[in-house]
A and B are shown apart, each in its own frame.
Chain A
Amino acid sequence: MTSQGAVTAADPGAAVTRRADARRVTGRSGGTGRPGRDRTRKRLEILFFVAPALALMALFVVYPVFSAARMSFYRWKGFGPMVDFVGLQNYVRVLADDVFTDAVVHNFIIVFASILVQLPLGLALALLLNRRIRGRGLLRTIIFVPYVLAEVIAGVVWFQLLQPRSGLLETMLTSVGFPVPEQGFLGTPDLALVTVFVVLTWKYLGLAVLLFLAGLQGVPDELHEAAQLDGASWWQVQRRIAVPLLAPTIRTWVFLSMIGSLQLFDMVWILTGGGPANATTTMATYLVSQGTQRSNFGIAGAASVVLFLIGFAMAVAYQFLVLRRDTKDA
């Protein structure tokens, strides 16, 4: 019975049936003779349930974002009223600033590198760990450890590991004759972003693995056993059964990863502060350094709006092109 529940959960057709049933239930309770009153009551209930969340989001998420947008049209140093209206001048300055356009490029490099590297790696590890090997539980625990650590804490440890010359990594590489860069991995402009990405992969691979493993557990043992009886090899089972059933989880992970990469801040701030020579700036580090260190609130506002628009466009596109499949009947 348990496994049957899991099959229906993984089968979109069954989910549609279930929703249709739910609709029938609602329909019946709405048909008891007082449709108007029931509708008002239903609206009040919905309002009651969503009001706290919407209020929090409105006050602490939406209002500040609009506020940032308003700020982007003024020259403002944070003191006194916002009166020096400059139109689109801040946007012109931001978009003409090589530091910012490079930051956008860095964000996109991280977005695509994450998908191209972490997805196959995470999938491979999840399939590996889903086998009945000894110590599997312990292995799962260990692989998730970096994700649980704060980015700051992981960053501080990696910063020590990556110290030029005296750090553990360079010492080990030198001892096996591997050439190390003169300025260290974080100090060399061409290598810094790659190094940050490696540390990010170390930090976030565990989440991908855990999500994929959870998805794989929705694949009932009976399916594996049936496939096995039919003479399917382990690889065939993974390719034809496990991975296709995992597709919704993969699509969700890609979405989360994309958004996380666009918002990258903590790790860069700790490891490089955006340097060397702005080689690792991201949109977030740019707007924080403009806003809080130089008090160019107008410039920070314009950069915020650009970051928001890029993220918004990517998310909407992804929602319509890819995720729509998962939610279209919802």
Chain B
Amino acid sequence: MAGRARTYGRGGPLVYLVALAVVALTLGPVLYGALGGFRSNEQLARDPAGLPDPWLLRNYEGVLGNPEFWRYALNSTVVALITTVVAVLAGVMAAYPLARYQFRFREPLFLVFVLGLLFPAAVAIVPLFILVTRDLQLGNTWWGIALPQAAFALPTTVVILRPFLMALPKEVEEAAMIDGASRIGIFWRMALPLSMPGLVTVGVLAFVASWNAYLLPLLLLQGDMRTLPLGVADYSTEHSADTAGVLAFTTIAMIPALMLFLAMQRRIVSGLQGAVKG
């Protein structure tokens, strides 16, 4: 009995073996890219599976000394920040009445956002291109890409935040109402701070989605306004003979999203739980 209690919920050797295999399969391609960046094309051709010998810094130096890379990184950052702020603010505002109000069109309205999940950018890509470039005159600008991206991030944001806001304890609202607070006051001073973990979650999701987006930037952005994914894709086709250079460029482009995730990991996981501790 004592032995069972000790091993209960822990892993045997098999569990560790599976875990190790998962780690190898998951990180293998990423490590291949990172290590490949330290090698020369000649090394890569001679032995694809080898380690860098000698370790070369010139591929990474080349990327970091490339002003285009920094331009792409700046574009990606600004676009992702605008997308995130717009999507989270508009999203939490919409989710609030859908969670805390009773009204006749509540479920149909929520369904609008659920259905919004279904509108892939691809369906609307050509009209969207015409709208942004010809009608709004925002072609090849930060806002021109960020606003449609925020619109496409809204359904996810609302769908994740609604149960979050629903789970807030009713006592908070009740007490505030007795004290005479307005619903908008309750929203700003109570619902918003209390749902902060959820906001961080949807914020990180919106940021990462924008950071990683490809299709919409592919059609809307050219030249100096390109974002990192476009830059990586174009670099890899333009320099297809320079495998090591492509791997170095790709690896450096991975770092910002990875760092953001590592920094925010706890908040993402706790946010996804969607429950208020109390």
Contacts and interface: CB of A to CB of B under 8 A. Distances in A.
Interface of A: 1-2, 5-6, 9, 15, 18-19, 21-23, 25-26, 29, 42-43, 45-46, 48-50, 52-54, 56-57, 59-65, 67-68, 71, 78, 125, 128-129, 131-135, 139-146, 148-154, 156-161, 166-168, 171-172, 202, 206, 210-211, 213-214, 217-218, 224, 228, 234, 256, 259, 262-263, 265-266, 269-270, 283-284, 287-288, 291-292, 297, 300-301, 304, 307-308, 311-312, 315, 319, 327, 330
B211 interface: yes
Given A53-B158, A217-B273, A315 B118 contact: yes
Given A52-B93, A139-B22, A259 B272 contact: no
B12 to A, nearest CB: 9
A278 B111 CA distance: 35
Contact of B29 (A61, A202, A307, A311): A202
B250 A172 contact: no
A22 to B, nearest CB: 5
B118 A67 contact: no
Interface residue SS majority, chain A = helix
B29 A49 contact: no
Given A5-B277, A65-B119, A265-B122, A161 B10 contact: no
Given A53-B90, A171-B48, A214-B273, A142 B23 contact: yes
Nearest to A249: B272
A6 B152 contact: no
Q: Size class of B's contact patch?
A: 35 or more
25 contacts: A5-B276, A23-B102, A43-B103, A45-B184, A50-B97, A57-B113, A57-B155, A60-B128, A61-B151, A65-B123, A67-B124, A133-B16, A142-B26, A149-B30, A156-B250, A157-B247, A159-B236, A161-B32, A202-B26, A265-B215, A266-B215, A283-B122, A288-B125, A307-B120, A307-B122
A268 to B, nearest CB: 11
B64 interface: no
Contacts of B208: 148
B27 A152 contact: no
A148 B30 CA distance: 12
Which of A56, A141, A142: most chain B CB closer than 10 A? A56
Interface of B: 5, 8-11, 15-16, 18-19, 22-23, 25-27, 29-30, 32-33, 36, 44-45, 48-49, 86, 89-91, 93-94, 96-98, 100-103, 107, 109-120, 122-128, 130-131, 147-148, 150-152, 154-155, 158, 166-167, 170, 173-174, 177, 183-184, 187, 208, 211-215, 219, 228-230, 232-233, 236, 243, 246-247, 250, 253-254, 257-258, 260-262, 265, 268-269, 272-278
Contacts of A148: 208, 257-258, 260-261
Given A5-B277, A23-B102, A49-B93, A308 B123 contact: yes
User: What are the 4 tightest A-B residue pairs by CB atom distance, in nearest-first order?
Assistant: A64-B124, A150-B212, A67-B127, A263-B120
A144 to B, nearest CB: 7
A152 B236 CA distance: 11
Contacts, number: 299
Contacts of B152: 60-61
A284 B122 contact: yes
A167 B48 contact: yes
Contact of A60 (B18, B94, B130, B148): B148
A21 B211 CA distance: 42
B154 A56 contact: yes
A49 B247 contact: no
Nearest to B36: A160
A15 B163 CA distance: 11
A2 B272 CA distance: 16
Contacts of A283: 122
Contacts of B228: 150
